[in-house]
Amino acid sequence: MGFLGAKTSVTPNLDGLARQSMVFERAYSQAPLTVVSHATILSGTYPQTHRVSEFGARPVPTLPFIPDLLQARGYRTAAFVGSVALDPKNGLAPGFDRGFTLYDAGFHPPERGPGKNSSVDRPAAQVVARANAWLARNPKGPFFLWVHLDAIQSAISYNAAVAAADQAVGKLVAALRAGELYDDALIVIASDHGESLGAHGEEAHGVFLYDETIHIPLLLKLPQNQRAGRRVTARARLVDVAPTILEIAGVPIPSQMQGQSLLRIAKASADQPVYSISNFPQQAFGWSALESWRAGKYLYIRAPKPELYELSSDPAATRNLAQTSKATLETIAGQLDAFDRRFSDPANAFGGADLTSSEMQKLASLGYVGLQKSTAPVSAPSGIDPKDGIATANKILSALALLKEGRPEKAVAVVQPVLAAGPKMYLAQFVMGAALAQLQQYPQAIEHLRHAIELQPDSTWAHYEMGSALLKTGDSKTAIVHLEIASSRLPDFAEAHSRLAEAYEHLGRAEDAKRERSKSTALDRAKP
């Protein structure tokens, strides 16, 4: 991006917008994950507080949510997203549609059987075209519009993806100008996370907390282009976006919000530290979670093998000073300890969809073992250091991408040797189970999905896949347990209700089947 110093810029539209905006040169995400990070953006809270995960956990319903707060003030609210991950009905973001009059998603995962029939992402240009159509057909008045662009997976290269996003932003800005909305608008441009692209051995994102995935672009175009061209070097965070929007809109900032206005950060003389976390290594692979703390010129990463980098002289974080600068390490680790103590139960960061005691009992009666999760507190890293397992993580995540693309046979080929070496990894078991189900190898799929649920019992999609596979084998009674869990956590997912109805019908539970069938039909009719 040219406005952040790229010698060869592929972002002319963003560069132009930056000249009319405040540019926060050192802005950071609180998690290297799509769904978790967007929950922070929309709620103004840290992951430990909103408790969203990449496994289908919804935000804590009592927390403030930007669209909800603005809708109550008379704003028209709409969301247009580019990935199934952010689909509240069919993806990993249940509850994200709270406060949105329109939430334009409508994706669906790959279907089983031969052939590809899936819709997991939408080109950036198409997302903006749908957003622009909404702008054109709506009357004047205050509005809150969230546009999410996700071109990375479908682009040939990273630069092509950035260029596609930039072109889409240009079309959105042009529509705002054409509708005489641009001058009065507050526009926030941010990324949820970055991409490692091989740095530190990580191919994509989700595991590590280095700058490649945590340092993000952040622009703030104020109404009437106030403070245009202002460059802010003080650290900023995605947790600060929500309170900023409310302050500029003149809406009181709820006390639960944990960020602060970016306008105040721009005025502050002192530089604030920045916290980030990834529980993904723990949840997906059974390894240690990671936390990071950026303070002064240092980056500290809490891990089984702690890391300390002096970013002023080592911006790529290649020289670990943890063993040679122990006094500095202890000081910064103490700051992170103090921050962690702000949260009542850091061990439960992420994962707000914990099973109820009744659901746990039902699963236990089916022979599941080890369901009582014993997640170690984040502040006490233990187990495998993700640095030592990143090659394995790369393979599993590449298999997950193949699964989303509707290529289950290739996903199986990638995961099989991984499972042979280390079977106690939730994500590997899930990918294998879901891929085998797509290939209609249901008995084998059930075996792997059973292991996945034992390792991550509150994974909504594991229960859905398990229930669906059991239904195919004729075990409707067991399928019902899993499909009830899935449908309760994905209440707007029509297919979950449809399959639950089918299971009820097989057992002669006509009234239950009728109820679920009605839900499925109503949801299908409501699709755009």
In a domain, 275, yes or no: no
CATH of the domain at 427: 1.25.40.10
Same domain, yes or no: 403 and 522? yes
CATH of the domain at 133: 3.40.720.10
Pairing of strands 22-24, 218-221: antiparallel
The dihedral through the CA atoms of 353, 355, 358, 359 has a sign that is positive
Question: Over 90: is that where the pLDDT of 472 sits?
Answer: yes
CA of 467: how far to CAs of 183, 352, 404, 475, 511, in Å?
Answer: 52, 21, 19, 9, 20
Q: How many CB atoms lie within 10 A of CB 348?
A: 17
Alpha helices per DSSP H over 474-509: 476-489, 494-506
In a domain, 475, yes or no: yes
pLDDT of residue 138: 79
In a domain, 278, yes or no: no
> 117 pLDDT band (50/70/90 cuts)?
very low
DSSP states along 389-402: HHHHHHHHHHHHHH
In a domain, 97, yes or no: yes
Contact 259, 44 (CB under 8 A): yes
265 by Cβ neighbours in 10 Å (0-12 / 13-18 / 19+) ranks as buried
Q: How many CB atoms lie within 10 A of CB 310?
A: 16
Same domain, yes or no: 165 and 295? no
Cα(520)–Cα(518) distance, integer angstroms: 5
Mean pLDDT value across residues 231-256: 97
234, 238, 239, 244 alpha-carbon torsion, rounded to 10° = 70
pLDDT of residue 331: 97
Higher-pLDDT residue of 55 and 473 is 473
Token pair listed for 389? 């397992």
Helix (H, G, I), strand (E, B) or coil at 17: helix
Angle at 54 between CA 457 and CA 28, to 5 degrees: 140
CATH of the domain at 312: 3.30.1120.10
In a domain, 73, yes or no: yes
Cα(278)–Cα(155) distance, integer angstroms: 26
Query: Which pairs from 428-433 meet CB under 8 Å and 24+ separation?
Result: 428/285, 428/396, 428/399, 429/455, 430/456, 430/459, 430/461, 430/462, 430/465, 431/396, 431/399, 431/400, 431/403, 433/462, 433/465, 433/466, 433/469
Mean pLDDT value across residues 16-31: 97
Q: Please state which of the ranges 54-68, 328-342, 425-439 shows the lowest mean pLDDT.
A: 54-68
Q: Which of 322, 314, 455, 301 has its CA nearest to residue 385? A: 301
Same domain, yes or no: 248 and 294? no
Place of tokens 């699963």: 363
DSSP designation for 254? P
> 372 pLDDT band (50/70/90 cuts)?
low
pLDDT of residue 103: 97
Same domain, yes or no: 257 and 298? no
pLDDT digits (tens, 9 = 90+) for 451-465: 999 999 989 999 999
pLDDT digits (tens, 9 = 90+) for 165-199: 999 999 999 999 999 999 999 999 999 999 999 99
pLDDT of residue 269: 74
Cα(90)–Cα(293) distance, integer angstroms: 34
Cα(172)–Cα(170) distance, integer angstroms: 5
pLDDT digits (tens, 9 = 90+) for 42-86: 999 999 999 998 888 888 889 999 999 999 999 999 999 999 999
Same domain, yes or no: 108 and 210? yes
Q: Which of 28, 526, 77 has its CA nearest to residue 259? A: 28
Same domain, yes or no: 344 and 361? no
> 352 pLDDT band (50/70/90 cuts)?
very low
In a domain, 470, yes or no: yes
pLDDT digits (tens, 9 = 90+) for 354-370: 788 899 889 999 988 77
Q: What is the pTM of this model?
A: 0.92
Cα(472)–Cα(348) distance, integer angstroms: 35
Mean of the per-residue pLDDT values for the chain? 91
In a domain, 284, yes or no: no
Mean pLDDT value across residues 240-256: 97
> 154 pLDDT band (50/70/90 cuts)?
very low
pLDDT of residue 155: 46
Question: Over 60: is that where the pLDDT of 153 sits?
Answer: no
CA atoms within 13 A on the CB side of 198: 1
Contacts of residue 488, defined as CB under 8 A and 6 or more positions apart, other chains included, come to: none
Higher-pLDDT residue of 353 and 478 is 478
Question: Over 70: is that where the pLDDT of 40 sits?
Answer: yes
Q: Please state which of the ranges 4-8, 69-73, 290-294 shows the lowest mean pLDDT.
A: 4-8
Helix, strand, coil percent values for the chain (each to nearest 5): 45, 10, 45
pLDDT of residue 158: 86
pLDDT of residue 156: 58
Question: Over 90: is that where the pLDDT of 486 sits?
Answer: yes
Contacts of residue 503, defined as CB under 8 A and 6 or more positions apart, other chains included, come to: 467, 471, 476, 477, 479, 480, 483
Q: How many domains does the chain have?
A: 3
Q: How many CB atoms lie within 10 A of CB 457?
A: 22
Higher-pLDDT residue of 156 and 269 is 269
pLDDT of residue 110: 62
Cα(452)–Cα(432) distance, integer angstroms: 9
pLDDT digits (tens, 9 = 90+) for 301-333: 999 999 999 999 999 999 999 999 999 999 999
CA atoms within 13 A on the CB side of 72: 9
Question: Over 70: is that where the pLDDT of 299 sits?
Answer: yes
Question: Over 50: is that where the pLDDT of 434 sits?
Answer: yes
Write down the number of H helices and E strands in the chain: 20, 14
pLDDT of residue 351: 47
Same domain, yes or no: 481 and 336? no
Same domain, yes or no: 21 and 170? yes
> 113 pLDDT band (50/70/90 cuts)?
very low
Higher-pLDDT residue of 154 and 263 is 263
Same domain, yes or no: 339 and 361? no
b/e burial code for range 191-228 (CB count within 10 A of at least 16 → b)? bbbbbbeebbbbbbbbbbbbbbbbbbbbbbbbeeeeee
Same domain, yes or no: 137 and 180? yes
Same domain, yes or no: 299 and 440? no
Same domain, yes or no: 343 and 457? no
> 222 pLDDT band (50/70/90 cuts)?
very high
Token pair listed for 427? 């994500």
- Give the structural domain span for 62: 2-269
In a domain, 522, yes or no: yes
Question: Over 50: is that where the pLDDT of 125 sits?
Answer: yes
Q: Which of 463, 457, 471 has its CA nearest to residue 499? A: 471
